[in-house]
């Protein structure tokens, strides 16, 4: 081994995967060649000095760095983002102005054409909380309601071009606002088509397009489960996309999601069978207190019978026919009460 080859081996010094002291050729040469021995000692000194001098060195020590989280997460680039990107490029001002005019034009006409949705009670019984009276069939005004029995609510546009249907479980508390259902407590099952309706839960709103999903809310916790399609959950901090098959409890306090390993059908069955017990178990770790109202009004056989819902109008396209077959109840019932498949009556 010549001096040049030995010097090349210096770079292996301090390697975890090679030990120069076990390289007999290297050791022999170092012991015989005074120049290489001196160079190797210098190399070791230099390595030690570099390590000692700079291992704790932090560049720009006076500048604190605080990472800024992006506002939106898991969200595909919107048309606004695309246009913003184009504008920031070196386009001529005239082109930018033309874009701005088009956007203003679209915004002006778009805002005037935002459809208004009318909500109707289709089946079941709702109590108008403010009026302390039973809500009649027909249009539901912007008020708060308590579902005395499992009920069906529909929403349609003025031109009847599209609509959605939903079921609310017995004892659900919710309010109707313009283009919005705010679920305060209980369970809501949505089969939805292209209609600008949002579902509000404590601390967040769910923006939905052409999907079918289930929302259960109790206290500050909400369970969101998607049958198909996807929804966007919008809170004050971010927009989160939840896709089909994902199963979350959304915690208002922490603004985070906790995965919940339970099928949608099992959740529905559990809540229908015993709302108080099911809602209490919604967040096992927290052990929520169950409202008195729920504890006293577990589903009775009578209300089970009454809750059979009507077939939807012909214009309604079911989210999935196969859903009825695929989503057989997973839980076995201990009593003889027949549970209602929530999709039944909404589909077909």
Binding site for other proteins (CB under 8 A): 7-8, 10-12, 14-17, 39, 42-43, 45-55, 57-61, 63, 65, 67-70, 73, 256-259
3 state DSSP class of 225: strand
CA–CA separation, 16 vs 39, rounded Å?
21
Q: Are 225 and 267 in contact (CB under 8 A)?
A: yes
In the complex with other proteins, which residue's Cβ is closer, 14 or 281?
14
Query: In whole angstroms, how close is the CB of 239 to other proteins at the nearest point?
Result: 13
Packing angle, helices 79-88 and 93-112, rounded to 10: 160
Q: Are 230 and 245 in contact (CB under 8 A)?
A: no
CA–CA separation, 136 vs 162, rounded Å?
23
In the complex with other proteins, which residue's Cβ is closer, 54 or 109?
54
Query: In whole angstroms, how close is the CB of 37 to other proteins at the nearest point?
Result: 13
- Residue 181 burial by Cβ neighbours in a 10 Å radius (0-12, 13-18, 19+): buried
In the complex with other proteins, which residue's Cβ is closer, 7 or 198?
7
Query: In whole angstroms, how close is the CB of 127 to other proteins at the nearest point?
Result: 37
CA–CA separation, 131 vs 90, rounded Å?
61
Query: In whole angstroms, how close is the CB of 65 to other proteins at the nearest point?
Result: 5
3 state DSSP class of 113: coil
In the complex with other proteins, which residue's Cβ is closer, 12 or 289?
12
Query: In whole angstroms, how close is the CB of 56 to other proteins at the nearest point?
Result: 9
> Phi/psi of residue 174, each to 5°?
-155, 165
In the complex with other proteins, which residue's Cβ is closer, 60 or 109?
60
CA–CA separation, 183 vs 139, rounded Å?
18
In the complex with other proteins, which residue's Cβ is closer, 63 or 296?
63
Query: In whole angstroms, how close is the CB of 71 to other proteins at the nearest point?
Result: 12
């Amino acid at each position: 081994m010549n001096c040049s080859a030995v010097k090349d081996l210096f770079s292996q010094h301090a390697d975890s995967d090679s030990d120069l002291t076990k390289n007999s050729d290297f050791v022999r040469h170092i012991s015989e060649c005074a120049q290489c021995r001196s160079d190797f000692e210098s190399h070791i000194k230099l390595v030690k000095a570099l390590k000692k001098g700079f291992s704790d060195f932090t560049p720009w020590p006076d500048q604190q760095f605080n990472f800024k989280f992006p506002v939106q997460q898991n969200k595909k680039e919107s048309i606004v983002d695309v246009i913003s990107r184009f504008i920031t490029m070196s386009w001529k001002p005239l082109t930018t102005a033309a874009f701005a005019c088009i956007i203003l034009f679209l915004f002006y006409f778009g805002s005037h054409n935002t459809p208004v949705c009318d909500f109707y009670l289709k089946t079941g019984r709702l109590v108008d909380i403010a009026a302390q009276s039973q809500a009649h069939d027909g249009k539901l005004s912007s008020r708060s309601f308590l579902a005395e029995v499992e009920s069906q609510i529909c929403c349609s546009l003025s031109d009847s071009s599209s609509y959605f249907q939903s079921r609310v479980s017995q004892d659900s508390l919710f309010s109707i606002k313009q283009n919005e259902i705010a679920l305060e407590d209980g369970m809501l099952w949505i089969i939805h088509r292209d209609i600008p309706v949002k579902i509000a839960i404590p601390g967040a709103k769910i923006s939905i397009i052409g999907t079918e999903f289930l929302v259960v809310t109790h206290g500050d916790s909400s369970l969101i489960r998607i049958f198909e399609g996807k929804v966007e959950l919008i809170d004050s901090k971010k927009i989160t996309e939840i896709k089909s098959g994902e199963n979350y409890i959304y915690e208002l306090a922490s603004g985070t999601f906790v995965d919940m390993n339970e099928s949608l059908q099992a959740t529905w069955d559990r809540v229908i069978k015993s709302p108080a017990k099911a809602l209490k178990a919604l967040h096992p770790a927290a052990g929520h207190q169950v409202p008195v109202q729920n504890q006293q009004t577990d589903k009775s056989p009578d209300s089970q019978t009454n809750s059979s819902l009507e077939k939807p109008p012909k214009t309604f396209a079911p989210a999935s026919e196969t859903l009825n077959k695929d989503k057989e109840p997973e839980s076995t019932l201990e009593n003889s009460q027949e549970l209602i498949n929530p999709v039944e009556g909404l589909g077909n």
